[in-house]
Amino acid sequence: MNEKDASTAAIAEPAGSQLKPASAGTRAARRNFLLHSSAVVTAVATAGVAREALAADPTKEAAADAAANLPPNVPKWTRSLGSPTASPYGKPSAFEKKAIRNMYPGLKEPMSAYSTSPLQELDGTITPNGLFYERHHAGVPQIDPAEHRLMLHGLVERPLVFTMDEIRQFPCVSPIYFLECSGNPSFLPPYGKTAAEVAGLVSCAQWTGVPLKTLLEHAGLKKEAKWIVAEGADGAAMTRSIPIEKCLDDVLVVYSQNGERLRPEQGYPIRLFVPGFEGNMSIKWLRRLHVTDQPGYTREETGKYTDLMADGRARKFSFVMECKSLITQPSGTHKLTRKGTHEIRGIAWSGHGKITAVDISTDGGNTWKAATLQEPVISKALTAFRFLFDWNGEEQVIMSRAVDETGYVQPTLDQLIEARGKVSFYHNNAIQPWKIATTGEVTNGRV
């Protein structure tokens, strides 16, 4: 069927309707419909003539093709078969080109760097595996699980070495937790244009694995055990020390994420997962757990992941990711195209437990109102929130602040700088403002 045929079919009267007398109201409605349809036919016919005239202009020809797929025409994808099934691994729509990971703003070297989750393009609280943020210290190793082992030794009764098959034979659990880089974001510019550039080093997933407590009980902890030094099999031999109380609480040895085996960039075939703690402690490509009576003071926890204070002291072992929230819709690079009621949507999380409230301000922080939290609200997982507001076409600054079950309230950036100074790099959980211009365009309210 060509475009002319499709248009004609769209305005044809149903055969049965010609046999029934029409009421005055129905006749008027039909006259209006036919008048409108005639206008559509004229427009489409004119467009057909115009298309021939525009054949030499690819841009205008493409626009005419797109218009031909709009109502009342039958779109081209309804007139043919779709793609076959059973592709080896499903992919997103080719039209979702914005929902991709990008390097962190200002970085040019992808080897030992970051990539951000496109928060402004995502819906819900579970991050697709292919869009989960990355942080590597020496690239992504390609590890054959048949040749990989996990060694558990030190202050235990029975030092053990596990194969991957042996790990998967232990009873497992599948909780949902967020993961966040401690440098999400830094205190200093650039502040980022999009939600991903502002705070895209956070993601959330369902993790499947064995509680570390199970493996420690299998090995038999000695009473002197106070810390575990976990080490990865990557080129950096990434190493962090974790208090034994946390290891016996909710730490997991994980092999699956969102129902599928870990991807290489997330630690395949096995990683540690430390809920609520800064992401670098969830050691990927886990190869060794050394039970000790003191922290290891390794390179990464002395030369790097410490917070330098204004007086020169270092805030070491700052494990927990504090309460935080972020508006993702509308956010930087979005645009409101009409006045009236809009919905603010976003995510909130806390390494200390559940989110109990999110407040929204639409006047730059002068007044605040409660947002609605979307169930389920899960401890140490992303929580979605929603809030309706009216935009009258004037400039507005919108922001969110989260509260967790400990009563902690997300601070402003000025409050954080007052407490830590300007040389601190990690654990910036400040309130993020977004500015809506009179044009409807949304930009970072901090710039």
* Two structure tokens written together for 109: 């070297």
Q: Distance between CA atoms of 101 and 103, rounded to whole angstroms?
A: 7
**Per-residue tens of pLDDT for the chain, all 447 residues:** 333 333 333 333 333 333 333 344 444 443 443 334 434 444 444 444 455 555 567 788 888 888 999 999 999 999 999 999 988 999 999 999 999 999 877 777 777 788 999 999 999 999 999 999 999 999 999 999 999 999 999 999 999 999 999 999 999 999 999 999 999 988 878 789 999 999 999 999 999 999 999 999 999 999 999 999 999 999 999 999 999 999 999 999 999 999 999 999 999 999 999 999 999 999 999 999 999 999 999 988 888 898 888 888 888 899 999 999 999 999 999 999 999 999 999 999 999 999 999 999 999 999 999 999 999 999 999 999 999 999 999 999 999 999 999 999 999 999 998 988 888 889 999 999 999 999 999 999 987
Which are the contacts of 75, defined by CB distance < 8 A and separation ≥ 6? 69
Q: Using the structure block, give the residue that is written with the tokens 């365009």.
A: 441
CATH for 324-444, among 2.60.40.650, 3.30.70.980, 3.40.50.2300, 3.40.630.30?
A: 2.60.40.650
* Two structure tokens written together for 262: 């870990």
Q: Distance between CA atoms of 334 and 363, rounded to whole angstroms?
A: 19
C-alpha radius of gyration, the chain, whole number: 28
From the list 446, 21, 387, the residue with the least C-alpha distance to 198 is 446
Overall CATH class of domain 114-316 = alpha beta
* pLDDT on residue 55: 55
* pLDDT on residue 53: 53
Please answer whether residues 225 and 156 qualify as being in contact, where contact means their C-beta atoms are separated by less than 8 angstroms: yes
Domain ranges of the chain: 114-316, 324-444
Which are the contacts of 272, defined by CB distance < 8 A and separation ≥ 6? 212, 230, 251, 252, 253, 254, 281, 282, 283, 284, 286, 289
